Each structure stands twice: as C-alpha cells, then as structure tokens.
Amino acid sequence: MTYQMTVSPDFSPQHIAGWYIFNTWLQKNLGLDIHLELYHDFESQRASIQADTVDIIYANPFDASMLIREKHFEALVRPLGKVDEVVIAVPANSPVNQVEDLQPGIRLAFTDDPNVHLVGMIMLEPANLSRENMNMQMVSSYAVAAKKLLRGEADAAIFLKEAFDDLSNLTRRELKPIVESQISDIFHALLVGPRLVDKAETIRRLLLSMSETPQGKSVLIALGIDGWASVDKEDAEFMIDLMDAIQ
C-alpha cells in the first residue's frame, strides 16, 4: 500500500524541497511507498486528517494533541533544540513598547496557525485584550502579517518566532517585537498514525541515527534541522496537558 505523509502548513517555505528529499530518503530506508502531500492551509489538512488519509505527519503542537488523543497517533521524535515560540510585533515607529501599551480596539493581524494564535492571545491578556475588544484580521501568511504592519493596516501582529526571524532584514528593521514567548515545552513533532504504529520503533530508530550518515545529514540540512530527539508517550502527554491548560 501507499502511505501518506504530510507536514504542518506552517513549515517554512524555504524547506519545501527538503520535505520531498526527506520523503525520498525515508522511503528508501524503510522500503515503503510514501506519498508526500503538502497542504497550504490548516483547514484542508484537517479535512484530510478527519478522513483518516494521513499516516505520517510533522505536526504542530495543537494538531499533535488532537491526533494523539482522538486519532490514536503516536509521537516519535521532535526536531533537536527547536521549540515553538511566538513573537508579537508592532511597526518600528509605533509608540507602543510593551504589551500593556496596547489599547482595546487595535487591529491585530494573525494567521490561522492554531498554537501560535493561542500563545499570542495569551500574551495579550495582560493588557486585557481579547477577541471581543480587538479588530481581528486573519491573514494567509506571516509575510502578509508583516506587510499589514508596514502599510499601517494593522497595529500589532502575532508571529511564529521562526517565521519572524526568517523575514528579510529590510522588513524586520521596520518592525519592533514587544514580547516574545519563552515556553520551551511546546514543540512540533513527527507522528505516525494507526496504520504505521507497528513500525513506530523502526522509524524512530532510523530517525535518531539519521545524523550519523553523510546522506542522512544532508537531508537534515535540507530540512533546516540539526537532528531528532526521541519523544516518548509521556513527553507527548505532558505537552498536550500543557496545551489543554492554556486553551
């Protein structure tokens, strides 16, 4: 049979090719047929998950919760030293210097990236801001969120830190981060679904030793990660409890 692999749509655009290379490497090393399907928004990926077509997924923390608790997926590994942090930024010339300077009624740009949105909204709470008293502007990407700030069409925006750091120097110079999360317990993870659970251990071992071969190493470079760290059942459950606590 052919298995399906997919990647959380918040992957950085520079690494699209990397995921295809990773899939080729994985198929060769496992002797399995795997088709990589990349969705460009969270909604279409969710639909595919609901239809039980996904077997391997590089999932954001929010979707990982749902996949493990409701769809019987198992977490195998997480990218080494990489955690999901969130930045709230305003235009560089804004008088706002900290979250508490933001006032009700502001225009907030955000993407549909669920865990980034969740953490971002929590960081706005100290200023007593919520979806009820802000002008919420959903945008299709972090690049669009940055553009909105530059054009004066939004007063603040929520970014995945990695995406914020990936903006061009020119753009970043026009923006001012006012708060950055330091959570460190929330991360993306690679999960396998029920049809691959019997191969979970094999796949985990393969991924953990990936950086030991030159070929594996070059695939990691294409993905933009240093290697993988093992995630056991309780690590994953802990992260889910944490996500549940802040929802």
Partner 1 sequence: MENMRPEDIVGEYQEYELTYYDGTSRKVLVTDIETPYPDGKLIVSRTDTAGIITHVNQAFVDMSGYTREELIGQPHYILRHPDMPRAAFKDLWDTVQSGKKWEGYVKNLRKDGGYYLVFASVLPNIRDGKIVGYTSVRRKPSREKMEEALRLYAKMREDENA
- Interface positions with partner 1 (CB under 8 A): 98-100, 122-123, 125-128, 179-185, 237-238, 241-242, 244-246
If you ran DSSP here, which 8-state letter would residue 112 be given?
A: S
Nearest-approach distance from CB 99 to partner 1, in angstroms: 7
Tokens of 79: 């990218």
Nearest-approach distance from CB 179 to partner 1, in angstroms: 5
Select 33 or 244, whichever has its Cβ closest to partner 1.
244
Nearest-approach distance from CB 193 to partner 1, in angstroms: 20
Select 126 or 152, whichever has its Cβ closest to partner 1.
126
Q: Is 55 exposed, middle or buried (0-12, 13-18, 19+ CB in 10 A)?
A: buried
> Do the Cβ atoms of 138 and 43 come closer than 8 Å?
no
Phi, psi of 152 (to 5 degrees): 75, 20
Select 98 or 168, whichever has its Cβ closest to partner 1.
98
Amino acid, single-letter form, for residue 22: F
Select 161 or 199, whichever has its Cβ closest to partner 1.
161
Closest CA to 58 of 117, 2, 9, 118: 9
Select 38 or 99, whichever has its Cβ closest to partner 1.
99
Q: Kindly report the length of the chain.
A: 247
> Do the Cβ atoms of 142 and 160 come closer than 8 Å?
yes
Tokens of 236: 């994953």
Which residues fall within 8 angstroms of residue 221, CB to CB, at 6 or more apart? none
* Rounded Cα–Cα distance for residues 64 and 87 (Å): 21
Select 100 or 201, whichever has its Cβ closest to partner 1.
100
Nearest-approach distance from CB 233 to partner 1, in angstroms: 9
Nearest-approach distance from CB 234 to partner 1, in angstroms: 8
Nearest-approach distance from CB 180 to partner 1, in angstroms: 5
